[in-house]
Amino acid sequence: MTPGTRPIHGDTAHVFVGTVPLLFTGSITCQGVLEKGRGYVELTLPDADPEQRRLLERSTTYQWELHRDGRRLYSSPLLALHSTRRSGTGSLVVKGAPTSAPPGG
């Protein structure tokens, strides 16, 4: 399963900012979006921990794995952070695109 225009729903996301692992649980969605002719993937996370949000907002690259019921649905490549924002429901939306930078950024 890969993110496209149809959303993928999970209950756990392991997000890696450099060597720092972040764990998000709850209602999580990823979906491919097209903006000004460029493709991105949006990861919508529950925004429960301000520390995790700040770490993501300050990062330049990140990776993540999406799980549902203990089964991995998707593992992203290294992504360059494009933007972060809050959704109308208060969730954290992280938008990124694949990068050619070496892992660990």
pTM, two decimals, is: 0.86
Domain of residue 17, residue span: 8-98
In a domain, 40, yes or no: yes
In a domain, 23, yes or no: yes
In a domain, 1, yes or no: no
Tens of pLDDT, residues 9-38: 999 999 999 899 999 999 999 999 988 888
In a domain, 19, yes or no: yes
Residues 6+ apart with CB under 8 A from 8: 1, 29, 30, 31, 66, 73, 74
- Tell whether the model's pLDDT for residue 83 goes beyond 90: yes
In a domain, 32, yes or no: yes
In a domain, 105, yes or no: no
In a domain, 104, yes or no: no
